[in-house]
Amino acid sequence: MNKWDSLWLGLLIGLLLPALFCVAYAHTIGLQHLWQEEMFEALKPVIGRMLLLGSVANMGVMFVLYELNVWRLAKGVMLAIIPYMAAGIILL
């Protein structure tokens, strides 16, 4: 058994990866002031799409982990997709 094959490590990676992806994407398209309340309310659909796009990045990582036979790590990443998908759908 691989010492890195841990459900909790996969969950941590899965929760951080879409968040980092969303922050980087918001910075790329010029939404640095996204976190101000009035901007957040106006751009809820954009934020929802960014969260869904971040969860697609998680799915790609999960596929690679399954191909590498790191099962528990992949399961943790898969579990982390659920809250991002729910938040993305709610914000749409």
Distances (CA, A) of 43 to 35, 52, 70, 90: 10, 14, 37, 13
Q: How confident is the model at residue 16 (pLDDT cuts 50, 70, 90)?
A: very high
Statement: the pTM of the whole predicted model exceeds 0.85: no
Per-residue pLDDT at 33: 65
Q: What is the pLDDT of residues 17-36, one digit of tens each?
A: 888 888 888 777 776 666 66
Distances (CA, A) of 40 to 12, 22, 53, 87: 25, 14, 18, 14
**Concatenated DSSP letters for 40-73?**
HHHTHHHHHHHHHHHHHHHHHHHHHHHHTT-HHH
